[in-house]
Amino acid sequence: MAPTSVVPEAPTIDNPAAGINETLNRYKGALEARDVDALRRIWPGLGGRQEAALRSEFENARTITVNLQGISSAVTNGSATVTCRRDYVVTTVDGRTLRSSARMVVTMNRHNGSWVIDNIRYEAER
């Protein structure tokens, strides 16, 4: 019998950019799916007026399309500030199309090995 060799597993390398991008993709997907529960999984602090506004928007939307451009992140000790441009298009149940663009500033932190959203702020483009 030939000797078997054991190949050690490659060490897991923490890649903040990949984790942050994954969280942003999940955010985009949850908005487009109009799924508040999926948003809460990546944004545990979502609640109150912000959650109520999203629920209302989701109920009145036939489709939502989100595009995030120019993503830039600064990571420090398990927290991150991410900036990008968010283009947001909502087609309402009555057929109207509403478009908006804003600079989005997201604060995130590491929680149980994953990046989660603490807060999102939208700023009008200048």
Q: Which helix (H) or strand (E) holds 103?
A: strand 97-111
Q: What is the DSSP string of 8-66?
A: PPPPPPP-HHHHHHHHHHHHHHHHHHT-HHHHHHH-TT--HHHHHHHHHHHHTEEEEEE
pTM: 0.86
Amino acid at 105: V
Q: What are the structural domains of the chain? A: 16-124 (3.10.450.50)
**CA-based end-to-end distance of the chain:** 72
Dump pLDDT digits (tens) for 47-73.
Answer: 999 999 999 999 999 999 999 999 999
Dump pLDDT digits (tens) for 7-48.
Answer: 444 333 468 999 999 999 999 999 999 999 999 999 999 999
